[in-house]
Copies of this chain bind each other. A is one copy, B any other.
C-alpha cells in the first residue's frame, strides 16, 4: 500500500526518478533527453559554455528556512547567472542530488519543480542528473550556455577609461540572511525571499555582450571581492563611486532592515554575497544596456585594486569564504 507522506527510503530509486522527470523541462535544443547514459544537446555555435556550483545543506541553505522549491530555483539561478556572465544564453542543466533517506519525497519534488520553474521560461532543459543517498542534502548543478556566435565576455578585458556598471540587486541576500539569523524576517520579507531565491538579471548578460562589454562577472561573493577579481584579472583598478549614491535604490530598500539590526547599509552594498548581479565594464561611449547602472570607472592599476569614493574600501570584511568564518 502506498505511504501517505513518503520519505525517500519509501521509494526505489526508479520510483523517485519517475516522480522527478515529469517536473523537469527538456528544452528545445535537447536532441536526446535524460534516460540514456548521457544526453545530447545542440551546439550550433560550435562551442559551449559550462560552469558548476554546488549547494550544501546547512552551509548554503537550511531546510527550516528554504523549501525544496526555493533551493531548486536558487541552485538553477546561481548557475544560470554564471552562464549569463559570459554573455551566453542558458541552454541546459544537469543536476546531481544527494538526499538523506528521511527526506520527504515532496521536498525532492519541490526541488525539481523549482529547477523547472527557473529553466522553463528560458527554454533551458534539465537534461541529466544523478541521485544518491547521503547524510545531508547536496545539490550540484552544471549549466551550459550558447554564445550565439559572440566571443565570451571574460573578466580580464577591462581597460582604463571604461565605465563600470552593475545589473541586479546589491545586498538584498545578505540583509535577508541577517534578518533570518536575527529571527526578524517580518521586517522585510522581500529581502528574506531574495536570500532564499536570488533573481539574477539573466537577460542582461547577452545584452551586455551585444553592447560590447569589455569584461563581466557574476557577483556571487560581494561587490568588493568580485570587483577585486575583475581588477586583478584585467590589471586595472576599479574606482567605485559612492555606493549610497550609485546604488541608491538598493540602499533605500536596505535601510529599514539595517535600522532594526543595527547593521551598516554600505557594508551590505559592498560585501553582501549571493545576489548574483552582473558586474561589467563598457567602453565609455557605449549606452548601457537595460538593467545596468553606472557604479564607477576603470582606471590604471594603482596600489588598491578597488577604490570606493576615491579611497581604500573601509569595511570589516571583503566577502564570503566558504572555509573561513565570517569576520
Contacts and interface: CB of A to CB of B under 8 A. Distances in A.
Interface of A: 8-9, 11-14, 16, 31-32, 35-56, 58-60, 82-83, 85-86, 88, 92, 94-98, 101, 127-136, 138, 140, 142-145, 147, 152, 154-156, 216-218, 233, 321-324
Nearest to A221: B13
A40 B86 contact: yes
Contact of A40 (B52, B132, B147): B147
Nearest to A56: B134
A254 B83 CA distance: 48
B40 A130 contact: no
B12 A134 contact: no
Most buried by B among A32, A40, A50, A92: A50
A10 to B, nearest CB: 9
Contacts of A95: 52
A82 B128 CA distance: 12
A211 B246 CA distance: 63
Contacts of A155: 36-37
22 contacts: A16-B323, A31-B47, A32-B154, A37-B85, A38-B51, A38-B82, A38-B86, A40-B49, A41-B47, A41-B48, A43-B45, A50-B144, A52-B94, A52-B96, A52-B130, A54-B98, A54-B140, A59-B132, A60-B132, A101-B323, A134-B136, A135-B136
A144 B38 CA distance: 9
B52 A133 contact: no
Q: How many copies does the complex hold?
A: 2
A133 B322 contact: yes
Contacts of A233: 35
A323 B37 contact: no
Contact of A39 (B43, B44, B51): B51
A133 B59 contact: yes
Given A38-B83, A40-B49, A142-B94, A323 B133 contact: yes
A280 B153 CA distance: 42
A82 B39 CA distance: 10
Given A60-B132, A96-B142, 14 more contacts: A8-B323, A13-B321, A36-B86, A41-B50, A42-B46, A43-B45, A43-B46, A50-B127, A50-B144, A52-B94, A52-B130, A54-B130, A58-B135, A135-B136
Nearest to A85: B37
Contacts of A46: 42-44, 46
